[in-house]
């Protein structure tokens, strides 16, 4: 008996109720054992990058019907990275929990997951991993490239660059605002190798999409073609019993780490992949990102680490062309939602523009993967993306300039009397999972205006928060334990000498260990952390884990399956 038949089969009152209330256009044979496929749809007018997913859902429905299934739209929690306050990351775990519960509670046999903006695909995959029904992702795809004054605009990346030029006095406020209407040219998520692009592509590397679909631009008709085919695939997956637990293995996650490095992907993938793996009980550790990815060459010349944008990557050969260049580093046994290994789909891939996708022997940068740092300031680790950093700052020693909160930073950063030089190390604390709460994308601190005016465009910056995947610079982030959890970052003082040594994977403060341990946390930092009084934020702060394990809630680790035995009718 199919799972949905547990609701619909039989002649008793309960079955009658379940069928009768669903007879609003469904044919009678919809209840004869045909697989019921939910379409977990994150479309929302308040999630601009996902606005087009209702159209995508219609094409998924056609594929499900064609294959003999019954498609059912299931609107789920949607998170617009550019819209929600205080930060979308605060609700990633809530969205995952809500989707998980709705998939388990409803009479469905499988699910198609529609996501685009940064947190939606991670949340959907976390939910699917926990409930473990047959599941497949349709990534919403990147937008087309916009231009301003004849120059391509990278979403996010050029916002940071242009806003810094305004602060430096090299771009007028009027010209900056003129670029606003050029930045977003079409439907779809950010067109840089930010978190949305990264997680859409990694969903395919994990094996959770129709092979060849990830990275298809949102306005491209081939996305709708792929959505149709995915709907049909979902029906076949139910028949075959192909669940996330059969696809998402340790090998799949290690493949994703290889791809993350080759693509120059977002540091946010670290917390998302760790959280997804945690829902399955897959043995994945923060150090795997360094061990597996640090020696992988950067092959994709995309912003923020390079020049081009997602539309260019797609025309240049797409994800499969990149993966073919690192095929010898991939687990050949890791399978996809089709049941076949990922590597089976790479033989025909070709690079059509070597300026965008480099070959393995002529990379954009050697050894470009995520680096994990440890030391006095990060006993449980911190993250840096060398591909987005300035090479001359990867080894650096300089005095700390400490900010106790994002509000403190904004109040003092542009003070002309600020005691700061290009050698200073900017430290922003109170931005971890508990401290903000929600671990916002603020780690790529803006540079002090007085230094921008002097031509400085990068400095070492350290934070217990995250940064946008579209951002760049020599930024150490995800520092764990965070300041609000009593991490050493809470006891650093302005003037302490900070030592960054990326080649040796160290992040230290030149203060005797006993002295550092004896210091009281900064009173201003403690004051900035206001414990939420109620609601989701209180639950989140009381149960969220640290960045080095994925920042999931402690009671959501592991899978609960799809079984519900009780019936209320």
Band the pLDDT of 156: cuts 50, 70, 90: confident
Q: What is the pLDDT of residue 305?
A: 82
Q: What is the pLDDT of residues 201-214, one digit of tens each?
A: 999 999 999 999 99
The mean pLDDT value for 546-552 works out to 98
Of 553, 549, 555, give the one whose Cα is nearest residue 277.
549
Question: CA torsion 537→542→543→544, rounded to 10°?
Answer: 60
Q: What is the pLDDT of residues 220-264, one digit of tens each?
A: 999 999 999 999 999 999 999 999 999 999 999 999 999 999 999
Of 288, 300, 307, give the one whose Cα is nearest residue 326.
300
Q: What is the pLDDT of residue 158?
A: 85
Q: Angle at CA 87, nearest 5°, toward 86 and 89? A: 145
Q: What is the pLDDT of residue 292?
A: 97
- Tokens for 544, please give them: 């969220």
Q: What is the pLDDT of residue 531?
A: 78
- The CA distance from 459 to 393, in Å, is 7
Q: What is the pLDDT of residues 448-488, one digit of tens each?
A: 999 999 999 999 999 999 998 777 899 999 999 999 999 99
Residue with the bigger pLDDT between 161 and 428: it is: 428
Q: What is the pLDDT of residue 541?
A: 95
Q: Are strands 506-509 and 497-501 parallel, antiparallel or unpaired?
A: antiparallel
Cis before 86 (ω within 30) = yes
- Tokens for 495, please give them: 């003037």
Of 307, 310, 308, give the one whose Cα is nearest residue 143.
310
The mean pLDDT value for 538-566 works out to 94
Compute the mean pLDDT over every residue in the chain, rounded to the nearest whole number. 95
Q: What is the pLDDT of residue 543?
A: 97
Of 146, 141, 137, 122, give the one whose Cα is nearest residue 188.
141
Q: What is the pLDDT of residue 250?
A: 98
Q: What is the pLDDT of residues 360-410, one digit of tens each?
A: 999 999 888 899 999 999 999 999 998 889 999 999 999 999 999 999 999
Q: How many residues does the chain have?
A: 569
- Tokens for 376, please give them: 């006095």
- The CA distance from 26 to 33, in Å, is 13
The mean pLDDT value for 33-57 works out to 97
- Tokens for 108, please give them: 């469905």
| pLDDT > 70 in the chain, percent | 100
Q: What is the pLDDT of residue 465?
A: 96
- Tokens for 442, please give them: 């603020």
The mean pLDDT value for 38-46 works out to 97
Residue 181 has pLDDT above 90, yes or no: no
Helices and strands per DSSP (H, E), number in the chain: 21, 14
Domain boundaries, the chain: 34-145+185-345, 146-183, 371-530
The mean pLDDT value for 111-139 works out to 97
Look at the pTM and tell me if it is higher than 0.85: yes
Check if the beta carbon of residue 502 is closer than 8 Å to that of residue 391.
no
Q: What is the pLDDT of residue 440?
A: 94
Q: What is the pLDDT of residue 180?
A: 87
Q: Angle at CA 265, nearest 5°, toward 114 and 74? A: 10
Check if the beta carbon of residue 451 is closer than 8 Å to that of residue 420.
yes
CATH number of 371-530: 3.50.30.80
Q: Is 552 helix (H, G, I), strand (E, B) or coil?
A: coil
Check if the beta carbon of residue 515 is closer than 8 Å to that of residue 409.
no
Q: What is the pLDDT of residues 265-298, one digit of tens each?
A: 999 999 999 999 999 999 999 999 999 999 999 9
Residue 533 has pLDDT above 90, yes or no: no
* Token pair 């060459």 in the structure block, residue: 297
């Amino acid at each position: 008996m199919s799972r949905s038949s547990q609701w619909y089969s039989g002649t008793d009152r309960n079955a009658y109720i379940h069928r009768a209330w669903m007879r609003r256009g469904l044919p009678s044979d919809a209840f004869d054992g045909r697989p019921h496929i939910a379409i977990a749809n994150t479309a929302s007018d308040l999630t601009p990058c996902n606005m087009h997913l209702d159209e995508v859902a219609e094409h998924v429905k056609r594929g499900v019907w064609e294959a003999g299934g019954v498609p059912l739209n299931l609107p789920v929690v949607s998170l617009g990275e550019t819209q929600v306050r205080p930060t979308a990351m605060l609700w990633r775990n809530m969205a995952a929990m809500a989707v998980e519960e709705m998939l388990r509670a409803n009479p469905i046999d499988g699910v198609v997951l529609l996501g685009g903006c940064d947190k939606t695909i991670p949340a959907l995959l976390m939910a699917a991993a926990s409930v473990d029904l047959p599941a497949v992702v349709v990534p919403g795809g990147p937008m087309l490239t916009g231009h301003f004054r004849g120059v391509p605009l990278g979403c996010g990346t050029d916002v940071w660059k242009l806003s810094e030029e305004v602060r430096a006095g090299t771009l007028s406020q009027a010209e900056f605002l003129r670029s606003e209407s050029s930045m977003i040219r079409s439907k779809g998520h950010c067109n840089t190798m930010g978190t949305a692009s990264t997680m859409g592509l990694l969903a395919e590397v994990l094996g959770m999409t129709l092979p060849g679909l990830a990275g298809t631009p949102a306005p491209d008709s081939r996305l709708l073609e792929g959505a149709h085919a995915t709907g049909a695939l979902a029906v076949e997956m139910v028949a075959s019993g192909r669940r996330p637990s059969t696809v998402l293995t340790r090998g799949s996650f290690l493949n994703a780490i290889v791809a993350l490095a080759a693509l120059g992907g977002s540091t946010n993938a670290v917390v998302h992949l760790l959280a997804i793996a945690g829902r399955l009980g897959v043995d994945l550790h923060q150090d795997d990102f360094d061990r597996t990815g640090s020696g992988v060459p950067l092959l994709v010349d995309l912003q923020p680490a390079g020049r081009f944008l997602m539309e260019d990557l797609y025309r240049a050969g797409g994800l499969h062309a990149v993966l073919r260049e690192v095929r010898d580093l991939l687990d050949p046994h890791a399978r996809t939602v089709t049941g076949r290994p990922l590597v089976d789909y790479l033989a025909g891939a070709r690079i059509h523009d070597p300026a965008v996708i480099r070959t393995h022997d002529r990379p954009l940068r050697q050894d470009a993967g995520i680096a994990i740092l440890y030391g006095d300031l990060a006993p449980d680790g911190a993250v840096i993306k060398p591909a987005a950093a300035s090479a001359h700052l990867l080894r650096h020693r300089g005095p700390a300039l400490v900010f106790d909160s994002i509000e403190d930073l904004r109040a003092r950063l542009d003070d002309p009397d600020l005691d700061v030089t290009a050698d200073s190390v900017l430290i922003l604390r109170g931005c971890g999972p508990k401290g903000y709460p929600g671990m916002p994308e603020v780690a790529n601190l803006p540079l002090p205006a007085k230094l921008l005016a002097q031509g400085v465009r990068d400095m070492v910056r350290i934070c217990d928060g995250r940064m946008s995947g579209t951002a760049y610079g020599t930024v150490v982030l995800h520092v764990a334990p965070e300041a609000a959890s009593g991490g050493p970052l809470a006891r650093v003082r302005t003037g302490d000498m900070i030592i960054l040594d990326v080649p040796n994977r160290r992040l230290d403060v030149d203060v005797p260990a006993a002295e550092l341990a004896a210091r009281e946390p900064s009173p201003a930092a403690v004051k900035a952390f206001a414990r939420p009084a109620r609601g989701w934020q209180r639950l989140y702060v009381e149960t969220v884990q640290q960045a080095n394990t994925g920042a999931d809630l402690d009671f959501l680790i592991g899978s609960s399956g799809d079984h519900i035995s009780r019936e209320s009718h």
